[in-house]
């Protein structure tokens, strides 16, 4: 995985298109790095999944050359956001990109300052600009726009949506995110990797374990250390607990999209039971404080193991009854079936991952496809549905709950004895590599370059929600606004993960 | 429909009084400084990921607003100067509520809002951990409505703004506009270590502008990362003088 195919930036399009084929080999991630201090260039990395392997193109732009590269978005739609972000953060222009509006930096950010360049100092005060932020819409007779957010009616993260409406029907949706942009990737530059971990663990609350794992995997891959088997199992345990509480809560929450209070409350109650076990297990309801670079911080004993099993034994029949509230309920099914369809091709083009992908007939799961930790010794199925609608995303989650419960039981049964942690040795400066894991929302990929004395030189954190957000703009058109909350909740994408 | 009724009846009442539930053994809450001589080795200071701990006059002092209860300082101290407890009742009052002499505003607020309180949520930079806990206080187990407290859809209907996250550049305008739109008398709660302390959690960043109280007056601080649902309820009860 450390073999990068290095090419001049001018050849990026050709090389990427070749690797992409006609879409058989998806783009998994794309980001830039300022390596001028090391070798005099900026680098753009593109990660593709090619059959059973991952391949990386590294396109380099000499410091003195024109800071632009041929955009790959025209053929690879999934690259659209990645390229916009590279332009925002580094000022490297993707020539031929169809929509070069800023992404992470809003209208308050002045022109010509690129925060992820190494010569930008975080302490420099940046004046507040007052630019326009154009939202994309549709014009025509009878067409009107409905602006929504960033502050929404419920308890939910901020984002701004612009619906172009023809009567009740949505004809176009444009989204402006990154209100939660905290600049974490820059803030941790120069920090020791083991300390920066605590910021990474806080990228998102509900993806705590996922971000921790990807980050630790990256460190461990670069340092070539193997985490002790018991730690691998404990990590898988908290990873699956994270999936479990998220899925159960999200299924309940979907009911909020249609005001079905009994469903909402059933989901919330079951989620609370799981979160209490999370706290008993790790001391933290969101499972913080278990995973650390090199292994885990806490062990479990028989009593905790029994507590988890007891919770699962109680959860499953209760969960089944909750699902029965929907399965036989025509009013419910009418709302979710054929609503918010994302066709398989669109999911492939955008590089959609996780539940969203599996509901649109794309059979991906990074736990199975690129196994990490103890997953190759665990048995599980990856549920796939093909209708691509809200219902399919609901049923994928329902099936995954059963799979996850099963996985937790296997993990507890097979838990090996042994130490909990391996020390992270001194890492050769400027080594880099990837770490990944399957979060409840899909694969989560980090890329880390370590600097001097085991510090962070550059971290790129690509959460599952990042490639999935654009799928909402495909799912919404053709539906009525009252169905949007349902469509949105069927994806249940974290904003904080994307904004970071 | 029958199934729905059956489920409702079978489930029964699951609500519990917030103070009754005991945190599990491993639950991480307030770190307290023990009455043990500190050797001034600064190991705890160096290990703290949020710079929440300082040695003042030769003994550790913890800024509760920035502490994320990770316990690293406790582990680092060879001499047992620090101890982690599961105490979550860490809310403190600020602004007019903090004034012990019983200012007019404080009395007015408590009189007007004491029985029924409407809250508007405002996320201006959080990791969503705090927001989800805020959501959870509405679940049937904590059922915040039993105290006459509820979340509303618009700041215009709200008595209290519950703010999560450090103030980011990109959401400063939303914070100010929402604050302006909330009728007086109004209260502001900074929920979570980020909202209480600003950039201490994520570190100095071009995208973070500071803590909530550097933009609007804050009346209640509820630290924690995130605070447990009970800690949120505790903060509300403290503010409303209903302890
Ligand atoms: S518990 Fe963690 S955050 Fe709090 S003072 Fe100790 S090291 Fe710092
Ligand atoms: S205080 Fe902790 S849980 Fe709350 S927003 Fe900040 S990092 Fe997230």
Complex ipTM tops 0.85 = yes
**Contact present, A20 and A55 (Cβ < 8 Å):** no
Closest C-alpha among B22, B105, B88 to residue B222: B88
Taking the CA atoms of residue A295, residue A298, residue A301 and residue A306 in that order, the dihedral angle to the nearest 10 degrees is -90
Closest-CA distance of chain A to residue B102, Å: 33
CA distance B145 to chain A (A): 14
Of B126, B132, B178, the CB nearest to A151: B178
Is the Cβ–Cβ distance between A113 and A102 less than 8 Å?
no
Assess whether the C-beta atom of B223 lies below 6 angstroms from ligand 2: no
What does the pLDDT look like over A225-273, one tens digit per residue? Answer: 999 999 999 999 999 999 999 999 999 999 888 888 888 989 999 999 9
Look at residues A465, A490, A469 and name the one whose alpha carbon lies nearest to residue A174.
A469
Q: How confident is the model at residue B101 (pLDDT cuts 50, 70, 90)?
A: low
Contact B3 A325 (CB under 8 A): yes
Alpha helices, DSSP H, located in chain B: 2-11, 43-47, 72-76, 95-98, 104-113, 129-136, 172-181, 193-197, 229-239
- Ligand 1 within 6 A of CB of B171: no
**Is the backbone peptide bond immediately before B226 cis, with ω within 30 degrees of 0?**
yes
| Candidates B68, B141, B166; nearest CB to A269 | B141
In three-state secondary structure terms, B239 is helix
| Per-residue pLDDT tens digits for A351-394 | 999 999 999 999 999 999 999 999 999 999 999 999 999 999 99
Tally A–B CB contacts below 8 A.
192
- Per-residue pLDDT at A326: 86
Strand partners, A8: A60
The shortest CB-CB distance from A198 to any of B11, B49, B208 is to: B49
Question: Is B191's pLDDT higher than 80?
Answer: yes
pLDDT for the residue numbered B175: 95
Grade residue A457 by pLDDT with cuts at 50, 70 and 90.
Answer: very high
Ligand 2, pocket-test mutation among B225, B227, B228, B229, most atoms within 8 A of CB: B225
Mean pLDDT over the full length of chain A: 92
Is residue B206 less than 8 Å (CB to CB) from chain A?
A: yes
Instruction: State whether the beta carbon of B129 lies less than 6 angstroms from ligand 2.
Output: yes
The β-bridge partners of A69 are A94
C-alpha B192 to ligand 1 mean position (Å): 14
Asked if the Cβ–Cβ distance from B151 to A155 is below 8 Å, we say yes
SS3 labels along chain A: CCCEEEEEHHHHHHHHHHHHCCCCCCEEEEEEEEEHHHHCEEEEEEEEEECCEEEEEEEEEECCCCCEEECCCCCCHHHHHHHHHHHHHHCCEEECCCCCCCCCCCCCCCCCCCCCCCCCCCCCCCCCCCCCCCCCCCCCCCEEEEEECCCCCCCCCCCEEEEEEECCEEEEEEEECCCCCCCHHHHCCCCEHHHHHHHHCCCCCCCHHHHHHHHHHHHHHHHCCCCCHHHHHHHHHHHHHHHHHHHHHHHHHHHHHHCCHHHHHHHHHHHHHHHHHHHHHHCCCCCCCCEECCEECCCCCHHHHHHHHHHHHHHHHHHHHHHHHHHCCHHHHHHHCCCCCCCHHHHHHHCCCHHHHHHCCCCCCHHHHCCCCCHHHCCCCCCCCCCCCHHHHHHHHHHHHHHHHHHHHHHHHHCCCCCCECCCCCCCCCCEEEEEEEECCEEEEEEEEECHHHEEEEEEEECCHHHHHHHHHHHCCCCEHHHHHHHHHHHCCCHHHHHC
Cβ contacts (< 8 Å) between B228 and chain A: which residues? Answer: 279, 285
| Mean pLDDT, chain B, whole residue set | 90
Tokens of A439: 């979060």
Strand partners for A94: A69
Closest alpha carbon within chain B to A273: B141
Buried b (16+ CB within 10 A) or exposed e, A154-178: ebbbbbbbbbbbeeeebbbbbbbbb
B127 lines ligand 2 (CB under 6 A): yes
Give the C-alpha separation, B149 to B162, whole Å. 12
Q: Is the CB of B48 inside a 6 Å radius of any atom of ligand 1?
A: yes
Query: Are the C-beta atoms of A19 and A51 separated by less than 8 Å?
Result: no
Closest residue by Cα to residue A473 from A346, A316, A323 = A346
Residue B214 pLDDT > 70, yes or no? yes
- Separation of alpha carbons A412 and A311, rounded Å: 13
**A148 Cβ neighbours under 8 A, 6+ residues apart:** A160, A161, A162, A163
Average pLDDT over residues A27-49: 94
- pLDDT score recorded for residue A2: 60
| pLDDT for residue A24 is more than 90 | no
For residue B201 and ligand 1, the question of a CB distance below 6 A is answered with no
Say if residue A299's pLDDT is above 90: yes
Ligand 2 centroid distance, CA of B214 (Å): 18
Whether B24 and A285 lie within 8 Å, measured CB to CB? no
Judge: A268–B50 Cβ closer than 8 Å, yes or no.
no
B48-86 residue pLDDT tens: 999 999 998 888 999 999 999 999 999 999 888 999 999
Which SS3 state, helix, strand or coil, does residue B179 take? helix
The pLDDT of residue A1 is above 60: no
Look up residue A242 and give its two tokens: 């994270």
- Residues in B 17-36 with any Cβ partner in A closer than 8 A: 23-28
């Amino acid at each position: 995985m450390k073999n990068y195919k290095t090419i001049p930036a001018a050849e990026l399009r050709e090389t990427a298109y070749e690797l992409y084929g006609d879409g058989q080999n998806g783009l998994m991630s794309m980001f830039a790095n300022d390596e001028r201090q090391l070798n005099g260039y900026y680098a753009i990395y593109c990660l593709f999944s090619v059959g059973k392997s991952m391949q990386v193109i590294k396109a380099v732009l000499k410091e003195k050359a024109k800071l632009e590269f041929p955009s790959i978005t025209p053929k690879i739609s999934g690259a659209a956001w990645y390229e916009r972000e590279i332009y925002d953060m580094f000022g490297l222009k993707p020539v031929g990109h169809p929509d070069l509006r800023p992404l992470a930096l809003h209208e308050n950010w002045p022109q010509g300052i690129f925060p992820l360049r190494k010569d930008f100092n975080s302490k420099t005060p940046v004046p507040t600009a007052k630019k326009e932020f154009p939202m994309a819409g549709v014009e025509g007779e009878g067409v009107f726009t409905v602006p929504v957010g960033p502050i929404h009616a419920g308890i939910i993260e901020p984002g701004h949506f612009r619906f172009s409406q023809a009567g009740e029907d949505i004809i176009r949706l444009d989204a402006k995110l990154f209100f939660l942009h905290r600049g974490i990737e820059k803030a941790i530059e120069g920090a020791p990797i083991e300390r920066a971990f605590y910021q990474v663990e806080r990228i998102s609350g509900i993806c705590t374990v996922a971000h921790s794992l990807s980050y630790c995997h990256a460190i461990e891959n670069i340092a070539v250390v193997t985490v002790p088997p018991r730690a691998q199992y404990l990590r898988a345990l908290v990873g699956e607990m994270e999936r479990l509480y998220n899925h159960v809560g999200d299924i309940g929450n979907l009911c909020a999209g249609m005001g079905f209070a009994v469903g909402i409350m059933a989901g919330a109650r079951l989620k609370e039971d799981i979160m209490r076990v999370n706290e008993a297990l790790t001391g933290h309801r969101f499972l913080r404080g278990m995973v650390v670079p090199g292994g885990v911080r806490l062990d479990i004993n028989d009593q905790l193991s029994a507590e988890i099993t007891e919770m699962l034994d109680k959860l499953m029949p209760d969960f089944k009854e909750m699902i029965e509230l929907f399965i036989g309920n025509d009013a419910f099914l009418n709302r979710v079936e054929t609503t918010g369809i994302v066709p398989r091709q669109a999911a492939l083009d955008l590089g959609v991952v996780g539940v969203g992908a599996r509901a649109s007939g794309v059979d991906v799961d990074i736990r199975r496809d690129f196994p990490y930790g103890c997953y190759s010794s665990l048995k599980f199925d990856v549920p796939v549905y093909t209708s691509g609608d809200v219902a399919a995303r609901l049923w994928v989650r329902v099936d995954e709950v059963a799979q996850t419960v099963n996985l937790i039981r296997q993990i507890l049964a097979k838990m090996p004895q042994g130490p909990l942690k391996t020390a992270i040795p001194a890492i050769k400066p400027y080594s880099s590599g990837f770490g990944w894991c399957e979060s409840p929302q899909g694969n989560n990929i980090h890329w880390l370059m370590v600097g001097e004395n085991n510090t962070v030189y550059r971290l790129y954190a690509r959460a599952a929600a990042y490639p999935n957000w654009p799928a909402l703009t495909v799912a919404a058109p053709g539906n009525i606004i009252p169905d949007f909350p349902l469509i949105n909740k069927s994806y249940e994408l974290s904003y904080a993960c994307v904004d970071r | 429909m029958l199934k729905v009724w059956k489920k409702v009846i079978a489930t029964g009442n699951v609500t519990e009084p917030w103070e009754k539930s005991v945190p599990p053994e491993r639950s991480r809450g307030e770190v307290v400084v023990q009455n043990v001589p500190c050797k001034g080795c600064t190991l705890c200071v160096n290990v703290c990921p949020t710079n929440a701990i300082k040695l003042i006059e030769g003994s550790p002092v913890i800024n509760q607003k920035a502490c994320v209860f990770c316990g690293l300082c406790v582990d680092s101290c060879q001499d047992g100067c620090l101890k982690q407890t599961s105490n979550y009742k860490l809310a403190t009052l600020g602004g007019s509520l903090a004034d012990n002499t019983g200012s007019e505003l404080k009395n007015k607020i408590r009189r007007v809002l004491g029985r029924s309180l409407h809250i508007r949520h405002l996320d201006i930079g959080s990791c969503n951990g705090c927001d989800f806990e805020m959501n959870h206080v509405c679940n049937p187990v904590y059922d915040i409505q039993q105290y006459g407290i509820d979340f509303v859809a618009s700041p215009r209907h709200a008595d209290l703004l519950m703010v999560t996250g450090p103030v980011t550049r990109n959401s400063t305008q939303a914070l100010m506009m929402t604050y302006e739109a909330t009728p007086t008398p109004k209260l502001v709660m900074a929920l979570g270590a980020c909202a209480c302390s600003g950039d201490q959690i994520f570190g100095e960043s071009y995208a973070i502008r500071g803590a909530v109280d550097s933009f609007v007056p804050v009346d209640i601080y509820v630290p924690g990362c995130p605070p447990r649902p009970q800690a949120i309820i505790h903060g509300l009860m403290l503010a409303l003088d209903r302890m």
